[in-house]
Amino acid sequence: MPDIYGSDAFAPKEIAARVETVGVAKARLPLLSMLMLGILAGAFIGLGTMGFVLVKSDPSLGFVAAQLLGGAVFSVGLFLVLVAGAELFTGNNLLVMAWADGKITTRELMRNWLVVCTGNFIGAAGLALLVFLSHHADLNGGAIAAQYLKIAVAKASLSPAAAFFRGVLCNVLVCMAVWMAFAGRSVLDKLAAVFLPVTLFVAAGFEHSIANMYLFPLAMLLQWAGEVPPEPALTVGGFLGNLFPVILGNLVGGSVLVGLVYYVIYVRQANKSGK
């Protein structure tokens, strides 16, 4: 194929084919492997979230600087997922392309999303427990712990509609980052693809369900241990009230606005033309 894009990156049509091929393999992973890879991805995204909160806890940074720098650090999480190897629910929304093309069944798609999302929660919440036990949040005179509470309270106070649409916007950018990473041929290509979209979604304050699976449990543990004020109280109900609309928003943003859109553009049209 002529290099019309002026680089050695895969062209968008080639990316679509790669996403489908990888999607079939992901959907048919053995159950234990799928779950364990999901656990790793939850922990990786939790590490990125930990870095974001660390940056946000520095009062010397202005709002925009803290958001942008925090977003840049958060991108480490998705970079680890893509390079080290892990299964992330939000990125796996792109499996909808293989499903729409009839290469995987609805059952296989739902199995992947359910198992991976469960694994992501185990990994993210497990990391939250480890970070809590390490007393990492005590650093900077307890400012890190206070920042966890501040962020969690703000997320819990979002209306379901706001949480949903922030979830949509978040996963449009996350899945675009994953899509562009498929264009790369090297580790540095993947880093470049991930960095800007992830930095942007974090800086804009959009909602990532797996990041919240780390942030809320840790904030609640800190409150339970008396390391942050007991009021306003964080509850499991408040956590779930944020998580469910964010998961739904992530699904719509990633599977519909990215996966199905690219399916129609590059796969469905090619199938119709017989090419």
pLDDT digits (tens, 9 = 90+) for 44-89: 999 999 999 999 999 999 999 999 999 999 999 999 999 999 999 9
Q: Which residue has the higher pLDDT, 270 or 60?
A: 60
> Residue 2's pLDDT is what?
45
Q: Tell whether 7 is covered by a domain.
A: no
List phi, psi (to 5°) of 158. -65, 145
Q: Tell whether 40 is covered by a domain.
A: yes
Tokens of residue 33, six digits: 């492997």
From CA 199, how far away is CA 81, in angstroms rounded?
16
Q: Tell whether 205 is covered by a domain.
A: yes
Segments forming the whole domain that contains residue 164: 12-273
Q: What is the CATH number for 204? A: 1.20.1080.10
Give the number of domains in the chain.
1
Residue 3 has pLDDT above 90, yes or no: no
Mean pLDDT (whole number) for 182-194? 91
- The contacts of residue 171 (CB under 8 Å, 6+ apart) are 90, 93, 208, 249, 250, 251, 252, 253, 254, 258
User: What totals of helices (H) and strands (E) does the chain contain, helices first?
Assistant: 12, 0
Picking from 129-133, 156-160, 264-268, which range would have the lowest pLDDT averaged per residue? 264-268
Residue 182 has pLDDT above 50, yes or no: yes
Q: Tell whether 59 is covered by a domain.
A: yes
Q: Where are the alpha helices (DSSP H) in 61-105?
A: 63-80, 96-100
Picking from 3-12, 39-48, 75-84, 250-259, which range would have the lowest pLDDT averaged per residue? 3-12
For residue 215, what pLDDT band results from cuts at 50, 70 and 90? very high
Q: Tell whether 180 is covered by a domain.
A: yes
Is residue 195 within 8 Å of residue 173, measured between CB atoms? no
Torsion sign over Cα 160, 164, 165, 169: positive
From CA 260, how far away is CA 99, in angstroms rounded?
10
Residue 142 zone, left/alpha/beta (φ > 0; ψ -120 to 50; rest): left
Q: Tell whether 90 is covered by a domain.
A: yes
| pTM (predicted TM-score) | 0.94
Q: Tell whether 176 is covered by a domain.
A: yes
For residue 269, what pLDDT band results from cuts at 50, 70 and 90? low
Of 67, 243, 92, nearest to 147 by C-alpha is 67
Mean pLDDT (whole number) for 219-242? 94
Residue 203 has pLDDT above 50, yes or no: yes
> Residue 268's pLDDT is what?
78
Mean pLDDT (whole number) for 112-129? 98
Degrees to nearest 5, angle at CA 3 with 26 and 13: 35
Please provide the average confidence, as pLDDT, over all residues in the chain: 94
From CA 177, how far away is CA 206, in angstroms rounded?
15
For residue 187, what pLDDT band results from cuts at 50, 70 and 90? very high
Mean pLDDT (whole number) for 166-175? 98
Q: Tell whether 96 is covered by a domain.
A: yes
pLDDT 10s digits, 20-36: 999 999 999 999 999 99
Picking from 30-39, 135-144, 260-269, which range would have the lowest pLDDT averaged per residue? 260-269
For residue 1, what pLDDT band results from cuts at 50, 70 and 90? very low
